[in-house]
Chains A and B, each alone.
Chain A
Amino acid sequence: MKRFWIACGALSVLLLAGCGGGKEESAKKEEAAPAPAAAPIDEANAATVTGKVSFEGTAPKMATIDMSANPACAREHSTAQKSEEVVVNGNGTLRYVFVWVKQGVPDRQWPAGAPVELDQKGCMYAPHVIGVMTGQNIEIKNNDPTNHNIHPLPRINQEWNQSQPPKGEALIKSFPREEVMIPVKCNVHPWMRSYIGVVSHPFFAVTGEDGTFTIKGLPPGNYTIEAWHEKYGTQDLPVTVAPKESKTVDFSFKG
């Protein structure tokens, strides 16, 4: 019997030695270096780019999400919840398109706005798509009577996974590096999925119920505007704006 315990002891030492090393590797990667502080932003000459994202073709029928295995989620919905992968608005435009200035923005430190809210309601993310600046706080809320885990799947930023109890305290998170887009999922409710666009400047927008977007405060110059949609991919369009000019850039995705 003694040899048995010796053998077990030897095994556990080996195992501990084997897994002891792993934890340090999660040490944080160095934060992105701050861009050089440039001259004050010339707000008087700032230009604006507006537009809409239209949808051509027949809108695909979205699958109904089956929440029957999760009564706490199902109770929050009086009608069947559809997947938000493709949402075509009544006016033929596409919702949840992330529009951002991909190229041409001067490299400088831009002021970030107030925290952006990402709510979990009825076991859905609200809204489905958000945009933030690098370092800008995201306030993740849980309005549900159920546990969620929040698990972003970035390729450039650091991946993490955190649980949030029912009606729990908001989680404050940010991403230090530009990344368009970061999928976010919940593994408790495998249909839950949202996307976060992280941009190093404040020139981005997400299309809503009217399918339009507005990007304000752009310095005069030549830019590439990109529109991203989770199913239909990306489209780039060039635009040149003069001081105080307002230009329209319209995108169109085919279904």
Chain B
Amino acid sequence: MTAPLLDVHNLVVRYKPRGLFAAAAKPAVDRVSLSLPAGSTLGVVGESGSGKSSLLRAVLRLVPVESGSITLDGQDWLAAHGPALRRARHSIGFVAQNPFLSLSPRLTIAQILAEPLLARGDKPGAAMQDRIAVLLSRCGLPPDFLPRRARELSGGQAQRVAIARALALSPRLLVLDEPTSALDVSVQAQILNLLMDLKADFGLSMLFVTHNLKVVAHIADQLMVMRQGSVVESGATERIMSAAEQLYTQELMGFGRRAQKSAPTS
């Protein structure tokens, strides 16, 4: 049994109260524990304000952690600082909900994909151009997109670029915050297919956050349901989808859809 890639134990994240005399805020993440084995996908589901993004931000070391521990690849992730933190961050790729906000509109796709490589200190040149073209094609876009700009792309194409950028430094962990929530159903299907392919090809681990239980249930090995900062229920996806223990989880499954799709027998 190998150690998990990511191990979170009793994590508490609390934002500063807004006013000078305001009472201490409730924790945004309240004693959350999770364990993500290498090569597996954990879906984190909850309604808005349940603390999903705060949990991701803590894993990305973008917000201070009040208490608890995060172990990444066997290392105490909260102890990393300075250049070591910056280096170690490369092992995590991040994809946000709205690609048009996360991709600079002025840069070409080639420049967007080069950014993380240059930031790491890679030398620009033919090798880098090759790497960029491979990344983009791996995410389903032909090389003629390289000179184009993000604002010329459709939502699905832009999200493919954002995923390619997140993979630029060959991370082992991909962290996704509502990556399909701004997309239409047909495009959502393309992106979910891409994520399943990438997971199979690169042995990626994924932490996939969404308010849409059905979307993440399709690709996650395990699910974790959050409400008001706490974990309501967690376990294997099949178990939760077939026999959710909590009424709240059942509510998240939606409005009792739907009559079985009849098998075509023409």
Chains A and B bind each other: no
The chain B residues found within 8 Å of chain A, CB to CB, are none
